[in-house]
A and B are shown apart, each in its own frame.
Chain A
């Protein structure tokens, strides 16, 4: 009688006033192992009402020796939780998941004597949230400024302002590359990367595919678009079909022009490499998001003697494409391609807006460099990623 009272007193001292009554041993639900049966001289209490995201444990120190706390969750397998020095009487388990029930026991460090098992449920976490995420204020301000620049230039373009965009060699080469395939009587191969349509590079690639398909339709050149992702397959099929319709040659469109290969990265790579080696397309477009397969494909195309136009924003793959392809769209050029090729004034406006925003950003970076050099870090800290 004396010992349980002592134990309860410890719980109260560790902040367990008003605590739920500790649920005592439940040996049936715990794993039975080679340990000695629970000792009646060794008591443990658990409480979850005082800690916001933890369970407070308290035990009666036994003969002043270190103890090992053990915990089990759903599977009832006890695992070591913490080793406590001799004389320690309490511990708060903060590694619990909200609302999950746990079993605890204490084991004497130098023997297999264990306490009875107690059960406690971790309190449900009270979620605190901000309606507006203040740490993202910097991103919001930059986004609003950027969107204003782009929309402003789009409106200017709508009013008929003439807009100039510098020449992009890789995009000027698209027509030449398709023309070469037409002259040689071979097909054009278009690889839209290996990522799905939720990747913005794939979306950009679909825009360029539309242009390429329109040209192949006009010239009567064969086009093949092998795919790794099934969603890209569905999108690419729609894009190519629409382009053939736009070019006035819907009869030239064949369903298996856009086909599915494999969801596996290297199975897809093997199929494309085989296609390049066996069928020797005159022109290869490798435009989208690529990873380890980029160089394997580009080198295969290079070895087959094809003219190759590549485009990606994946930094690690750019050197591979630069080395193995004739033309490479680097980063932002990939996203500007649709506007550049279509010469659509509204789209050109967005590119001009983007360029102006870039000038302002360069100014901000220089200002940050100067301020940081003079020990003023507030400006840089405001724009730091959070």
Chain B
């Protein structure tokens, strides 16, 4: 019973979503939208699980003085501080203010956002180091890759026309023909693979939500 109920639920909801794609009746459309809303509600509840897991993980690290346990203090303090300010800031008598902004807003704008931007900006350096490795000419394929990449890069910058005449036209051709053809091939394969997997899951042949394949 414990195994059959999730399989039946999965089949019914999965089959309904497939059928709903082809049906325009408002009742079916509404029910389909409700299923999407249900996911948002379930995610909101699951977020509590996430916070509990986070707190347990770091508390255990601190208690056992595991490697880098001091980082866990910073993590838990940040979580506690932001949660406290977000939930109770308005209840504080004089209000928690840093400069001319509420403390929560200030921390979000001047601590969290720059940290996010810092992480994202790392990508530029990562691309440079990855490109350096990718463009090392070890064989014929790597040489073709490097030549194509150099032409495309020249075609993307105004000065490229002066270094290599017609680099814009050649780079457009590379992007719109061999590149797009390969991308579409992968895309069609991936879409078929996803549909095949969806059929396996709906039919209960594959049950990743229960720990793997069917018995």
Q: Do A and B come from one complex?
A: yes
Q: How far is the CA of A139 from the CA of B211 in the complex (A)?
A: 31
B23 touches A198 (CB 8 A): no
B46 touches A230 (CB 8 A): yes
Q: Which of A150, A243, A261, A331 contacts B54 (CB 8 A)?
A: A261
Q: How far is the CA of A336 from the CA of B198 in the complex (A)?
A: 12
The interface residues of chain B lying within 8 Å CB-to-CB of A350 are 196, 199-200, 205
The interface residues of chain A lying within 8 Å CB-to-CB of B71 are 274
Q: Which of B22, B54, B186 contacts A260 (CB 8 A)?
A: B54
Closest Cβ of chain B to A303, distance in Å, is: 8
The answer to whether residues A239 and B208 also contact, given A256-B53, A361-B188 and a CB cut-off of 8 A, is yes
The interface residues of chain A lying within 8 Å CB-to-CB of B5 are none
A313 touches B127 (CB 8 A): no
Q: How far is the CA of A198 from the CA of B214 in the complex (A)?
A: 20
Q: How far is the CA of A336 from the CA of B47 in the complex (A)?
A: 31
The answer to whether the Cβ of A278 comes within 8 Å of any Cβ in the partner chain is: yes
Of residues 167 to 215 in B, which have CB atoms within 8 Å of A's CB atoms?
Answer: 183, 186-190, 192-201, 203, 205-206, 208-214
A129 touches B24 (CB 8 A): yes
B134 touches A335 (CB 8 A): no
Range class of the B interface residue count: 35 or more
Interface string of A120-131 (1 = CB under 8 A from B): 000000010111
The interface residues of chain B lying within 8 Å CB-to-CB of A335 are 190, 193-194, 196-197
- Which A-chain residue is minimally distant from B189 (CB atoms)? A332
Please choose the segment from B97-105, B117-125, B153-161 that sits at the chain A interface, where 4 or more of its residues have CB less than 8 A away.
Answer: B117-125
B193 touches A313 (CB 8 A): yes
A231 touches B42 (CB 8 A): yes
Q: Which of A198, A315, A358 contacts B39 (CB 8 A)?
A: A198
The interface residues of chain B lying within 8 Å CB-to-CB of A56 are none
Q: List 26 A-B contacts (CB under 8 A).
A: A196-B43, A200-B197, A214-B212, A230-B49, A230-B50, A231-B43, A233-B53, A239-B208, A260-B54, A261-B54, A263-B50, A266-B115, A266-B119, A267-B115, A298-B130, A313-B194, A324-B133, A332-B192, A338-B197, A342-B212, A344-B205, A344-B213, A344-B214, A346-B205, A354-B192, A358-B188
Residue ranges of B at the interface with A (Cβ–Cβ < 8 Å)? 18, 21-26, 29, 39, 42-43, 46-51, 53-54, 56-57, 60, 67-68, 71, 115-116, 119-120, 122-123, 126-127, 129-131, 133-134, 183, 186-190, 192-201, 203, 205-206, 208-214
The 10 closest A-B pairs by CB, nearest first: A242-B211, A335-B193, A332-B193, A331-B190, A230-B50, A230-B46, A210-B212, A206-B208, A266-B119, A332-B189
